[in-house]
């Protein structure tokens, strides 16, 4: 039995603007001079939900796409069936015209309406999704709802659109769903001297602006005096999402040695494993793809190089001081004390004691600080402190001062020694 489904369109209408030369130098051809173009294709991403608004089950679905010149009734202008379209989390991407290319003249001469039918895994028949979706192009001089503005009475073949207000707002309107315009070349070119070249707005669960490309950029933004792109939401962690199993942010791939800056006016936060899906790691890779440094969710840091502090000196510029590495996890503390009649009890500082396991064997090193030779030795070590005794060379109790260094294993890491790295040379994703 087929469960009622709804379709949220993310797209269509790219072919409304599909013209060779669409862009800053494009011009409108008179109707009689319009070039004959072969059949076109239109990227079509969407979201398939059940009647409760939940994403349908993952699987391969079959779709029938049909274009009409009316919201109901009428004769089909074009149609095709696409089988085995992968749907995951309700999301799918189809390409209209990939089975039967859409004749360019079908997209000319007035409004077009897209009808979609779907057949789920194991189902025998297609189910019609209603209403049809309208392909339209609207413009306004200020931010507006997706339905604002009149439908253009002509097809804008080969034109470049610009405006003196906020720019262009383009939509695909079908029963409340909104869409972005997508094309093989440039579906939409927006140019504005002050504000937005292209504004995309979604007032529901749709997408304000969507972009798909086979070989280049799905969405391209550039600016001379401000930001090339701006993303904002009312939620403090949903401004920008990267799709796919691997999300990537790159500097310009076409410019050698292009740098990547991440800037913030306050804290900069990198949160590992946002969905609590397991124990994951922040990995810094070198140019060969090998991990150079990693930070685990537990805060464990591992790097293949040195760990150093860059220290400014008065006469020798900035110099590196290197961290001492150990096969085990040790914390250490330092102090001074003095003998009284050859003996003193040294209490371990309570805060330091809370960071180490003093029930495990720990080490104490002592150095005499006095004007006479003295023999120092440590006795009675326990979790609260230790005793130091000292005598002069003739066996008399000493009153010498001394420095001490205590080294104990970090609490919770007592059993670690020369652990094997979780990542090895050549390990890559």
103 and 9 in one domain? yes
Domain end marker among 253, 269, 285:
269
The CATH number that applies at residue 339 is 2.60.40.2080
Residue 105 belongs to what domain range? 1-269
265 and 143 in one domain? yes
Residue 57 lies in a domain: yes
Residue 54 lies in a domain: yes
Count of domains for the chain? 2
345 and 227 in one domain? no
Residue 282 lies in a domain: no
Alpha-carbon distance of 176 to 367, in angstroms, equals 81
336 and 196 in one domain? no
356 and 255 in one domain? no
**For the whole model, what pTM was predicted?**
0.52
Residue 45 lies in a domain: yes
114 and 21 in one domain? yes
Cα separations (Å) of 413 from 43, 330, 383, 409, 419? 54, 9, 17, 7, 11
247 and 339 in one domain? no
253 and 378 in one domain? no
Residue 181 tokens, joined? 């315009």
356 and 244 in one domain? no
Residue 348 lies in a domain: yes
Question: In the β-sheet with 401-409, what is the strand arrangement from edge to edge?
Answer: 330-338, 401-409, 363-369
167 and 91 in one domain? yes
Residue 335 lies in a domain: yes
The CATH number that applies at residue 10 is 2.60.40.10
Residue 193 lies in a domain: yes
Residue 378 lies in a domain: yes
204 and 132 in one domain? yes
337 and 252 in one domain? no
Domain end marker among 222, 237, 269:
269
Would you write out the chain's pLDDT as a tens digit for each of its 429 residues?
Answer: 445 565 554 333 333 333 222 333 333 333 333 445 567 888 888 888 887 778 889 999 999 999 999 999 999 999 999 999 999 888 888 889 999 999 988 888 788 899 999 999 999 999 998 889 887 543 333 333 333 333 444 443 433 333 333 333 333 333 333 333 333 334 455 555 555 566 666 666 566 676 766 667 777 777 778 888 888 777 776 788 887 788 888 888 888 899 999 889 999 888 888 778 778 888 898 888 888 899 888 888 899 899 999 999 999 999 999 999 999 999 999 999 999 999 999 999 999 999 999 999 999 999 999 999 999 999 999 999 999 999 999 999 999 999 999 999 999 999 999 998 876 555 554
C-alpha distance across the termini of the chain, in Å: 41
């Amino acid at each position: 039995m087929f469960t009622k489904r709804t379709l949220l369109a993310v797209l269509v209408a790219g072919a409304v603007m599909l013209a060779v030369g669409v862009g800053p130098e494009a011009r409108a051809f008179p109707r009689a001079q319009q070039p004959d173009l072969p059949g076109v294709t239109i990227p079509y991403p969407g979201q398939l939900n059940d009647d409760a608004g939940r994403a349908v089950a993952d699987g391969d679905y079959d779709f029938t796409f049909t274009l009409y010149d009316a919201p109901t009734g009428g004769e089909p202008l074009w149609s095709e069936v696409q089988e085995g379209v992968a749907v995951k989390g309700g999301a799918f991407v189809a390409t209209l015209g990939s089975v039967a290319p859409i004749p360019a003249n079908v997209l000319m001469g007035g409004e077009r309406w897209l009808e979609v039918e779907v057949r789920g895994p194991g189902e025998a028949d297609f189910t019609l999704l209603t209403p049809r979706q309208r392909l339209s192009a609207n413009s306004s001089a200020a931010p507006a709802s997706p339905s604002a503005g009149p439908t253009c009475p002509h097809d804008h073949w080969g034109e470049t659109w610009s405006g003196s207000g906020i720019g262009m707002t383009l939509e695909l309107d079908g029963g409340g769903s909104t869409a972005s315009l997508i094309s093989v070349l440039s579906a939409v070119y927006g140019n504005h001297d002050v504000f937005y070249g292209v504004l995309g707005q979604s007032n529901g669960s749709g997408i304000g602006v969507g972009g798909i490309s086979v070989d280049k950029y799905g969405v391209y933004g550039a600016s001379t005096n401000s930001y090339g792109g701006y993303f904002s939401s009312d939620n403090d962690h949903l401004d920008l999402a990267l799709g796919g199993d691997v999300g990537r942010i790159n500097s310009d791939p076409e410019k050698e040695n292009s740098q990547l800056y991440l800037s913030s006016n306050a804290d900069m936060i990198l949160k590992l494993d946002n969905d609590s899906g397991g124990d994951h790691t922040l990995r810094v890779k070198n140019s060969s793809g090998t991990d150079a440094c990693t930070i685990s969710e537990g805060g464990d840091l591992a790097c293949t190089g040195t760990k150093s502090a860059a220290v400014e000196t008065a006469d020798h510029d900035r110099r590196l001081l290197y961290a001492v590495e150990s096969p085990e996890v040790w914390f250490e503390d330092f102090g001074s004390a003095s003998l009284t009649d050859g003996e003193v009890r040294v209490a371990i500082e309570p805060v330091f004691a809370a960071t180490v396991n003093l029930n495990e064997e720990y080490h104490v090193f002592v150095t005499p600080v006095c004007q006479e030779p003295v023999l120092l030795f440590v006795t009675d070590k326990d979790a609260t402190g230790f005793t130091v005794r000292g005598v002069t060379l003739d066996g008399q109790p000493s009153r010498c001062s001394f420095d001490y260094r205590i080294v104990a294993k970090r609490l919770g890491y007592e059993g670690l020694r020369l652990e094997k790295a979780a990542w090895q040379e050549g390990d890559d994703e």
